[in-house]
Structure 1
Amino acid sequence: MKPGFWIAPEGAEEPVNIFPIGEEALDASHKGLTASGALAKLASLDSEALARSCPRAVELLSTIAAAIGAQTAGAPTQLFRLEGLNDLERRLIDDVLGEGEVAGVVALPDGTLAQIQESVLAGIWRVRLEADERHDYVEIGAVPEIVSRAAADLTASDIAIGPVPEGTMNALPVLAEIRERALSWRPGQRSQTINFTLLPMSPADMGFLQQTLGNGPIQLMSRGYGTCRVLATGIRHVWSVQFFNAMDTIILDTLEVGGVPVVALAAAEDFEDSAERLTQIIEAYFT
């Protein structure tokens, strides 16, 4: 089987992880409510009583609906903190938003992890810093700002190429292409893709590429149409993007040079749709 760019070390049971957490941490984040599950749960509750008990949560949801309706793809994200809400109000927010297709983690410079979960309403995200309830908030935008900032803060902009191991065939010209594209890419330009699925790359080539580019601070998983894993490498603007089939076999293995890969982003048309859907939920259950 053709090796992927990010492969498990020999004898390891789990794929390579950027952080010292198991991949089950990402998988677990997708075991919550789906869109239909969230609405089914709301329908089983006394919504009038909830509205009376959680006026601040309902008010916040209305504010979020108005904000995402005015959001545009290129605009700064909008952040809504959950400080001051009680447990019932937080649970209500969770039930309405549910858990969508994209989840992930970002390693911060101080060693803590930020957990990211898209809601069932694309463009609305939950962001939590581990072990710190003060940093638990809803954010509106194409992707949480903490992801974009971590990607931009990568210090390595050039690729240091060490001794080439025996068995490599095409790693050096591929690295030269990645270096040229990464150094020349600027925000606003389209991302550029290198497709390893179509390249004659040996296991030695792929291992040398992984060793040379290293690990970055961002790991995202999208479970829209199939599974897609997005990993930041240790080089600014360079990402590993892999698509898997139902058997967890890589069917498309690429490197993208550019901003946060589009597979992890909410699209511009998602904002208006999510605003409409959230407004309908509020009107149906809380008014």
Structure 2
Amino acid sequence: MKADVGVAPEGAEQPVSVFPINAGSLVPPHGSHAAVALAKLASLDSGELAKNCPSAIELLSNVASAIASRKSDESTQLFRLGNLNDLERKLIDDVLGEGEVAGIVALPDGWLAQIQESVLAGIWRIRLETDAAYDYIEVSAIPEIVKRAASDLTSSDLTIDAAPEGVMNVLPVLAEIRERALAWRPGLRSQIINFTLLPMNSVDMAFLQQSVGNGPIQLILRGYNTCRVLATGIRNVWSVQFFNATDTIILDTLEVGGVPTVALAADEDFEASVERLQEIMEAYFK
């Protein structure tokens, strides 16, 4: 289904889709985050793990070291999984689990990158389907591939065509979006346009969506409620929509700036993840 800015999806399990995607793959498993990973590992023998999964244990130790002193604004760190055997990959899967943020990035030539935050915020699993499959862990506030796609695969300017009959307020809103998007630079505060409070009719919203278009990124955040973050076709312009438990939209915005803060791991998230990962390492591998 084509994503409409300002229109809630029909049905609790139907995502706002920029590109076709299996909705189930974006829903993290129920459970208490790190406790789920610990429970899975409790059934495995640590001696056998240490003997049969040395590369996985070394990788996890390196991830723990990378995240220990990390701040959210530092450069990303990548850890390739190509040298791991099946058992080691299972161990990585069990330790990291699946957290609240998932998504896809559409790349040139029809390739896709699948993104899944682990139960340890700031530690991401990225699977990149190209001419060869790439699978890696990234320690960052948001995967670098999201920032690159938002910059390289979107348009630098917003073209405003002649408006159809029946519009109310869309033209000055589009002019404001264009001005803000062109002026935004890294380090500046993001600016938010709230359509939940702004008087816009259905013609306005349809023309707005047509004008900004669909971009290459879709992120789904599952917590107490659902948040869906979509890159538009215009650089620095994002659709950020919040839904309640019945999948009814409760806040509909366009955000002009970098990757929306709601999707980013913060400094306190890194600190909590360090403690959790160290607990896992100490309990099962030492």
TM-score (norm 1): 0.92
| Counterpart-to-counterpart distance in 2, 1:9 and 1:36 | 32
The answer to whether the 8 A contact 1:83-1:134 is kept is: no
| Counterpart-to-counterpart distance in 2, 1:160 and 1:24 | 36
The answer to whether the 8 A contact 1:32-1:98 is kept is: no
Q: Which moved more, 1:163-172 or 1:13-22?
A: 13-22
| Counterpart-to-counterpart distance in 2, 1:130 and 1:6 | 31
Q: Please, what is the CA RMSD of the aligned residues?
A: 2.0
1:73 Cα shift? Answer: 1.6
* Deviation by residue 1:217-265 (Cα, 9 ceiling, x = unmatched): 0000111231100000000000000000001000000000000001110
SS at match of 2:180: helix
> What is the one-letter code of the residue matched to 1:26?
L
SS at match of 1:193: strand
- The structure 1 segments of at least 4 consecutive aligned residues displaced by more than 6 Å after TM superposition are none
> What is the one-letter code of the residue matched to 2:237?
V
The answer to whether the 8 A contact 1:219-1:230 is kept is: yes
Determine if the alignment matches structure 1 residue 227 to structure 2 residue 205: no
SS at match of 1:63: helix
> What is the one-letter code of the residue matched to 1:90?
R
Determine if the alignment matches structure 1 residue 105 to structure 2 residue 104: yes
- Summarize the Cα distance change of 1:261–1:165 in structure 2 as closer, same or farther, 3 Å threshold: same
> What is the one-letter code of the residue matched to 2:280?
I
Matches within 5 A, 1:187-226: 187-226=186-225
Determine if the alignment matches structure 1 residue 17 to structure 2 residue 21: no
The answer to whether the 8 A contact 2:214-2:232 is kept is: yes
Determine if the alignment matches structure 1 residue 271 to structure 2 residue 264: no
| Counterpart-to-counterpart distance in 2, 1:122 and 1:197 | 30
| Counterpart-to-counterpart distance in 2, 1:276 and 1:31 | 22
1:155 Cα shift? Answer: 4.2
Determine if the alignment matches structure 1 residue 31 to structure 2 residue 11: no
1:175 corresponding residue in structure 2: 174
1:5 Cα shift? Answer: 2.0
| Counterpart-to-counterpart distance in 2, 1:263 and 1:218 | 15
- Summarize the Cα distance change of 1:24–1:205 in structure 2 as closer, same or farther, 3 Å threshold: farther
Identity, % of aligned pairs? 71
> What is the one-letter code of the residue matched to 1:20?
P
- Summarize the Cα distance change of 1:89–1:280 in structure 2 as closer, same or farther, 3 Å threshold: same
> What is the one-letter code of the residue matched to 2:79?
F
The answer to whether the 8 A contact 1:193-1:256 is kept is: yes
Matches within 5 A, 1:117-132: 117-130=116-129
1:206 Cα shift? Answer: 0.7
1:153 corresponding residue in structure 2: 152
* Deviation by residue 1:72-92 (Cα, 9 ceiling, x = unmatched): 222110000001100000000
- Summarize the Cα distance change of 1:104–1:258 in structure 2 as closer, same or farther, 3 Å threshold: same
> What is the one-letter code of the residue matched to 1:243?
F
SS at match of 1:110: helix
1:49 Cα shift? Answer: 1.4
1:9 Cα shift? Answer: 9.4
Consecutive unaligned residues in structure 1, runs of 5 or more: none
SS at match of 2:200: coil
| Counterpart-to-counterpart distance in 1, 2:139 and 2:99 | 14
> What is the one-letter code of the residue matched to 1:137?
Y
1:280 corresponding residue in structure 2: 279
* Deviation by residue 1:253-282 (Cα, 9 ceiling, x = unmatched): 000000000111000122222122111110
* Deviation by residue 1:166-198 (Cα, 9 ceiling, x = unmatched): 221010011011111101000111100000001
> What is the one-letter code of the residue matched to 1:60?
L
> What is the one-letter code of the residue matched to 1:129?
L
SS at match of 1:236: coil
> What is the one-letter code of the residue matched to 2:243?
F
Determine if the alignment matches structure 1 residue 73 to structure 2 residue 72: yes
- Summarize the Cα distance change of 1:50–1:70 in structure 2 as closer, same or farther, 3 Å threshold: same
Consecutive unaligned residues in structure 2, runs of 5 or more: none
- Summarize the Cα distance change of 1:222–1:15 in structure 2 as closer, same or farther, 3 Å threshold: closer
The answer to whether the 8 A contact 1:127-1:139 is kept is: yes
| Counterpart-to-counterpart distance in 2, 1:140 and 1:75 | 10
| Counterpart-to-counterpart distance in 1, 2:221 and 2:132 | 25
Determine if the alignment matches structure 1 residue 54 to structure 2 residue 53: yes
| Counterpart-to-counterpart distance in 1, 2:165 and 2:247 | 30
Matched residues, number = 280
